[in-house]
Chains A and B, each alone.
Chain A
């Protein structure tokens, strides 16, 4: 029993309890601190992303064309390290250390930008290392979020994390703009302050986040090797989820394609593009927690597939002729809700069916699948547009997405029926 020494303690404890319930959507301090790490790291990285092109152009006088073409390579590198970091984190039960290393890696890249100066190879290298850092940390961090809450609160926890993450992404460019307004042209100050945010982010994860205690003792679990990838995919519920999320990603247009279509359809000014991103991020941030809660109560599969239903609705709206311009705002709203209903919820769906000791690897496999599928979707959409025309390409994607959503519903229900228990 816990004897209460005096009434002061009782009140203090009660207040603490209330505070945590209200502030952290009842998901515990660990999820909040993981969210805080992401928030700080996103402020740091978006400060640099927003200002790097201008820094290259105005301070270093380098041509901007050369920059974008290395991007594909970076994406590839990030995919490769994902599974490796997952295996390492699971093998040695070191999700926290691996994630912290990924965050630290990216933090050092901010200083790196100042050190490499005008060297192209140096700048490309730093950007590549930053992406590798992101690839290392994502899966172990999501596995830690999953391990920090009971299974019935998974989607809410991911919602809290994604809301904080998105808030950071929106704050970053503002911080950079503020600094450049104070001291015009001082990109070095932007990089240094960005480094400081990143370091505080690393400090939060290493010093404040608690490594979730494993429910499985080391002796009970089989050693984790690279064979695990095959063994995980041999499990029907996980295989079904990976296939379905990848298929859905294969019929998902990237934001830039949607904006390009939106811009042509409604004849929007190009200077509105950054605002479109901010608009979507804002809706995503506001709705991430409510949709997470909804998913935990009403069913994650329902919310997840409903989100993709909304995406199909967006395609449909873009295909309708003669829409009023005000409806472009509706498209933005739908896209924001789609993100809120799918991104964190998919992580929750996967975390719920993955055994805890292999969770990081499992999450890495899933994000690798969806990442590759998204890349293929962009390439495929470009090709379809070239050979068939814009409306035909979009119609095909709408058809593909609608069929996949229906198939996904039937398929996931069947897996559930076979297992004879609610899974998703």
Chain B
């Protein structure tokens, strides 16, 4: 104890510190509770802007007859409403559906939508992801919840399989590291066909085993049986090629995350972990014939599983963390030329329907 302060004095100071801290804690918490009540009232009073009306069946079908894109609307709350729009965005029609998602994919009349289950009110319980399988009417067909944080979703080109990736908290051996679950579904029955962790992994002709594998970012080949995905073991990520019928995965290459196969099946666009302390991913295209990599002209770090607009351009979501339009879909040439341009403002999770 500081000899210049008596025991009695320090107890007095201590009492004042405690009173001050209690006042700060109680005062701040009450302010926050009042603020929370005020903001719920505001939302109930109605949100600004003129929302797009929900489309009827005919409207949806009219758009579905032409080349179109599906994306999530992020202009104002409620965020994540699913929109269909003609491929040439600016001029053509668009239609809003009743579906709301955090991540979406759609192909051959079958879709998968990941969203948070908001009926769960316990703030410290693990978040529940609501997985919805839907058809061409964009109405839920099968629904179930799974614990975690939503990440990626894909549907095979024939519409038979859907696959999603969630982060599962507390699943991993390294505490601070969250781990993933990537689950394959049958779109016709909604049945769970298995977690990729149940597949056999092979490396150079031998079985490859480890305490824990993490998988994410599945992309399907045209035959809908073969697929590519990312496998993580320890600090290393690998590109794996999978075979659904054989329930087998083969390691191909290191440092490839969230691959996306081009429509002609010749190239994979992916995010490549750039060296450095802080995580940053460089959008890169891998030529599967020559195994050559081309860095795309996007200089910002991108954390997304990209989508091919056609064989020459890719689209992806990028956030600028600027609240009024915090995330938009961008387009960029797949050969390393050009520069990123906004494709759909205030939108996420672009899907190009072929």
User: Is B277 at the interface (CB under 8 A from chain A)?
Assistant: yes
Residue contact A193 to B28, C-beta cutoff 8 Å: yes
A254 / chain B contacts, CB cutoff of 8 Å:
173
B280 CB to closest chain A CB, in angstroms? 9
Other-chain residue from A124, A192, A197, A270 in contact with B171 (beta carbon distance below 8 A): A270
Closest chain A residue to B34, Cβ basis: A183
Shortest CB-to-CB span from A273 to chain B, Å, is: 4
Assess the A179–B124 pair: CB atoms within 8 A: no
Nearest A residue to B13 via CB reads: A207
Pick 10 A–B contacts, CB within 8 A, sort by A: A67-B176, A120-B279, A176-B124, A177-B122, A179-B29, A188-B32, A193-B25, A203-B13, A211-B1, A256-B175
CA distance A381 to B177 in the complex (A): 17
Q: Give Cα distance in the complex from A188 to B27, angstroms.
A: 13
Chain A residues, Cβ within 8 Å of B126: 271
Stretch at the interface among B15-23, B132-140, B333-341: B15-23
Q: How far is the CA of A195 from the CA of B10 in the complex (A)?
A: 21
Contact of A274 among B13, B122, B170, B278 (CB under 8 A): B170
CB of B278 within 8 A of CB of A124, answer yes
Residues of A within 8 A of B147 (CB): 270-271
Are A180's CB and B176's CB within 8 A? no
**Cβ 8 A contact of A61, one of B11, B32, B319:** B319
Report the minimum CB–CB distance from A32 to chain B (whole Å): 14
Which of A57, A192, A200 is the one whose CB lies under 8 Å from B17? A200
Q: Are A182 and B33 in contact (CB under 8 A)?
A: yes
Q: A67-B176, A207-B14 are in contact. Are A196 and B24 (CB under 8 A)?
A: yes
Our pick among A189, A199, A260, A271 for the contact of B28 (Cβ within 8 Å) is: A189
User: Which of B87-95, B205-213, B259-267, B307-315 is the contact stretch?
Assistant: B205-213
Interface residues of chain B: helix, strand, loop or mixed (majority):
loop
A378 to B172, CA, bound (A): 13
Residue A385 lies at the interface, judged by CB distance under 8 Å to chain B: yes
Given contacts A186-B36, A207-B11, A207-B13, A71 and B176 within 8 Å (CB-CB): yes
B127 in the interface (beta carbon within 8 A): yes
A355 interface hit (Cβ, 8 Å) = no
Contact with A along B136-178 (1 / 0, CB 8 A): 0000000000010101000000000000000111111111111
Inside 8 A of A210's CB, which chain B residues have their CB? Answer: 1
- Interchain CB contact under 8 A, A68 and B277: no
For chain A, the count of residues having a C-beta within 8 Å of the partner chain is 62
User: Is there contact, CB below 8 Å, between B321 and A50?
Assistant: no
Chain A CB within 8 A of B298 CB? no
> In the assembly, what is the distance between CA of A192 and CA of B20, in Å?
13
Asked if A121 is at the interface of the complex by the 8 Å CB criterion, the answer is: yes
Could you say which of B1, B10, B18, B29 contacts A183, with CB atoms under 8 Å apart? B29
Is A11 interfacial (CB 8 A cutoff)? no
Q: Give the distance in Å from the alpha carbon of A120 to the alpha carbon of B121 in the complex.
A: 28
| B1-A256 in contact (CB<8A) | no
A132 to chain B, nearest CB (A): 16
Asked if A298 is at the interface (CB within 8 A of a chain B CB), the reply is no
Question: Nearest 6 pairs between A and B by C-beta?
Answer: A68-B177, A180-B123, A196-B21, A71-B176, A203-B17, A68-B176
B18 contacts which chain A residues (CB < 8 A)? 200, 203
A341 to B303, CA, bound (A): 46
In the complex, besides A192-B24, A208-B11, 6 extra interface pairs with C-beta distance below 8 angstroms are: A63-B303, A179-B29, A184-B123, A200-B17, A203-B13, A386-B233
Chain A residues whose C-beta falls within 8 Å of the C-beta of B321 in the assembled complex: 118
The smallest beta-carbon distance between A49 and chain B, in angstroms, is 9
List residues of chain A with CB within 8 A of the CB of B209.
385-386, 389
Closest Cβ of chain B to A337, distance in Å, is 22
In the complex, what residues of B have CB within 8 A of residue A181's CB? 122-123
Chain B residue numbers with a CB within 8 Å of A71 are: 174-177
Q: Which of chain A's residues have a CB closer than 8 A to the CB of B22?
A: 196
Please report the C-alpha to C-alpha distance between residue A401 and residue B164 in the assembled complex, in whole angstroms.
41
**A260 and B124 form a contact (CB under 8 A):** no
Pair B278/A203 contact, Cβ less than 8 Å: no
- Tell me the chain B residues, 32-54 only, with Cβ under 8 Å from chain A: 32-33, 35-36
Give residues 289-324 of B contacting A (CB, 8 Å).
303, 319, 321
Answer whether residue A173 sits at the interface, using C-beta atoms and an 8 A cutoff: yes
Answer whether A257 and B173 are a contact pair too, CB < 8 Å, given A189-B29, A196-B24, A382-B210. yes
Q: Quick check: is B67 within 8 A (CB to CB) of the other chain?
A: no
Please report the C-alpha to C-alpha distance between residue A31 and residue B106 in the assembled complex, in whole angstroms: 63
B234 at the interface (CB under 8 A from A): yes
Beta-carbon nearest neighbor of A254 in chain B: B173
B123 interface neighbour in A177, A200, A274, A385, Cβ under 8 Å: A177
